[in-house]
Structure 1
């Protein structure tokens, strides 16, 4: 790491969140992915201390910058789940909390036919489940799963990483344990940059975990990459890693990650943070602090939609008691 630290004051951020609409669905710990030209989000919690996850599905229509609820029979009630986009058509939901238990079930939404398609799932331990994990699509079409929440007994008995293979067309998916080396995490993010998968946060220490020889299944957005790298050139590098955090978001470009928000482990506050960091990898891994945004969130969703970075929902406010409905776009200054 470099010897000097970089800081940005709240004012004059080189990029910050700009409100698009405040009329979105109030949700936290939901999931989102891009299908076609629009952003789809599913599930989550509608109140901080709610007992039952939502089964609602919403579409953010990019052309009108408005939200639309999609009603289709068979939508599961889930929060703290994960999802990937397949073929630009299917939203594949993986695991999550159903209000009673952690599940490892897989279900797909077909955006073209507006139908939910239950999938047969095999290979996952019958006495375990998944929540606050991540799912990342590989170039092979397989999906790598990292992390889970659960008792220490469950974590010792079962691994923390899996490969999920199958297809919506066959209606079948199979879990296969990948390795027992992966550290136990929950509320982390996973992104592929180059041929490496970077698992960020989800625990107090060991902030970044790297796994080699994993090629991503989604092309990088070069417009977003260029804008993020332009910012890197204007910032001094940090002298040490950021503090541990969970329930943050991250997006990736060619050679760069953007990290925003989350809950920290350092006891500074009982509220979510608005910190934003950039992480680059060549010639060595290096962090840059973009600044502290007034948009302080955890359990939110962040996706690249066209040439924009969209953020929605999450928990925040005093003692993280408020579930937000706002949708933001990252404004590069």
Structure 2
């Protein structure tokens, strides 16, 4: 199906099949559509409402034209959609080091901030990581130290057409949600945060269609694309047995509730400092009145725990949280950050 036909379908409120969505997205990614056609297509899709099959098809097209890393082993990604407007520090980035410190291979996919204060690429650069490595260099990082960063701007050159047009449209579109589904290392396991409640189930079903081995999709009642340290979080668990939905909160991880206000940052530097404190083991406390450092530590432990379960290293949140704590308190998580800084600079 070409984009003209797809637009006609969408304005008639007809869904596209997975294959049709993939074909249209491939046209977009290979620069075979005009800006007017692009804007019409994604706006019509937005008005109709995206289906899981359309999302999966478009993600497949993006994957097909991205630069790739071929590692024949299970890899885990911690990546969210962003867009919550909460301006929290980079929790999923901190989690990547904690999970890696527990012996799990990480292919961290991410980008610079679009709407928030700090994207994963921004904060990693601030921490001293060279984020602009080529695919073979990132592969070397994963092989040698067990963690690598896949910078979206490097690995998705086909976005050069659609990228500049997205801000001109002025509304959130499907492109706000495709990034976490297009890991160039084909990560088999994910912890994927979604800030828009309307997309949580759709993204979960899309992951199932795309063949994920074991993933979590999470959405906090606060609107965060993280498992929240305060209040409830909606969790979709996707594996070969299907999709299960549940709610969770800090007590399920054996942790006291923290405070969301403790997670807020004003700039990249503040996010970097919070990550350094967490990885240095600051914030260990069993007190009821929690400090800012403890709230930051605990939310990283909770989200890392989901990754540890999805990688098959634990079966329950509380068990996984203990593994995450040990990764931090043993110094292993911080060591992974130091190793990534060192090898990424040496390879540049």
TM-score normalized with structure 2 length:
0.28
Return the TM-score normalized by structure 1.
Answer: 0.29
The structure in which a higher percent of residues are helix is 2
- Higher normalized strand content (fraction of residues): 1
